[in-house]
Chain A
């Protein structure tokens, strides 16, 4: 751990803007800036991944680190900033971690195979129950930031994987490859070395997009059905 003192931080600054101020100071002193991931800075890309004062994305709820503001802290506070820690998220530098394990899980089945020859049926021509469509959409809001893994005491990726499975399995378009998808994605998740889900619910609380534990139950159900029917 390295300690830095920093002044002139406005309560209206975002957390990443505070990090920018810190890095400007460090570079002006000829020191290495603190490396951290960021891109959109509006809670969409899922790049920013900091464990702030013992919580993924900090003390606020339903926000990413870039949406966290300094007004959540008091003047004179010591803020502990750590990278997301998990064996499956190796630290590249400072606060930057490698989350390509998530990409490999996605590659294992997080997609729908569609013939793009021009004869594909319009998706809107298939009637879908509104409730299911809403749930699929909610699951699809997962930005893959990894807060679920970072906050879980077991480093479990069940919330992420279940969201990626559910966003397809709830829709008719995703049914064709449903069994194959859930089996392959869970296998890849296990192969990556993530821990087991013990249903503490911490992931749901810390998830910036509010992905529900209901998705984990659904994936368990889909997986058991696929496993015992194959």
Chain B
């Protein structure tokens, strides 16, 4: 078991798996959120289901939180090890000549996303937990849309969200396709994987940005 955890390939495999899990979660999160642009009623119905369903709340949610924590902790562990593998740095190092910015700076985009998650939890998750499990307020299936739109009345917040989504896009542009490589599926020559991961990596963060801007402009 120890040798499994110590293996660099297993660590990267676990990182890719947790990444895939978060990508699936992000997709379903987007699908629910985009309904807020078209229909207040549908958004409230989806949100109420997600917020009250036992399996979602007490099985899927803890798994998701574990997935998020695991992905970040493993990211830091790998980054620490990688930095420690070259004690004496080059005087001149031309990283941009052979690799993209996002592939070389996953830790930076990851830290921006981590900071964003802190804000996002503060905005939505913590008030939700407080509402249901601390103050035990009455169940109200129509409160979700107004809570969402209220958060996007502040321009500064919308800007922070959009900038964070930009970094999420950069993180995904390398991370999503890279996950296939870590899992042994070569993505370099696989045209379909490259196309799908690129569309997802740009489309989903763009969609989230659109939702934030849409509600700011329509408040």
Chain A residues near B (Cβ < 8 Å)? 1, 51, 53-55, 59, 80, 82, 85-88, 151, 153-156, 186-187, 189-190, 193-202, 205-206, 212-214, 216-224, 227
Contacts and interface: CB of A to CB of B under 8 A. Distances in A.
Contacts of A212: 188
B95 A224 contact: no
Given A54-B94, A82-B91, A227 B7 contact: yes
A227 B184 contact: no
Interface stretch (B33-41, B78-86, B139-147, B149-157): B78-86
Nearest to B10: A227
A56 to B, nearest CB: 9
B185 interface: yes
Nearest to B97: A55
A220 B9 contact: yes
Contacts, number: 136
B219 interface: no
Given A187-B7, A190-B8, A193-B85, A221 B181 contact: no
A155 B85 CA distance: 6
Interface residues of B, number: 45
Contact of A51 (B87, B90, B97, B98): B90
B99 interface: yes
B9 A186 contact: yes
A196 B78 contact: yes
Interface of B: 3-4, 6-13, 78, 81-95, 97-100, 103-104, 106, 174, 178, 180-189
B98 A202 contact: yes
Contacts of A202: 95, 98-99
A86 B90 CA distance: 10
Contact of A196 (B8, B90, B103): B8
A220 B184 CA distance: 5
A55 B8 CA distance: 25
A196 B89 contact: no
A202 B111 CA distance: 23
Contacts of B99: 153, 200-202, 205
A53 B12 contact: no
Contacts of A216: 181
17 contacts: A54-B97, A86-B85, A153-B95, A154-B85, A186-B7, A186-B9, A193-B85, A197-B182, A199-B103, A199-B178, A201-B103, A205-B98, A217-B180, A217-B186, A220-B181, A220-B182, A221-B185
Contact of A190 (B6, B13, B82, B98): B6
A217 B12 contact: no
B85 to A, nearest CB: 4
Contacts of A85: 86, 88-90
Contact of A217 (B86, B100, B184): B184
Contacts of A80: 91-92
Contacts of A224: 9-10, 13, 183-184
Contacts of B84: 87, 195
A54 B90 contact: yes
B137 to A, nearest CB: 45
Contacts of A86: 85-86
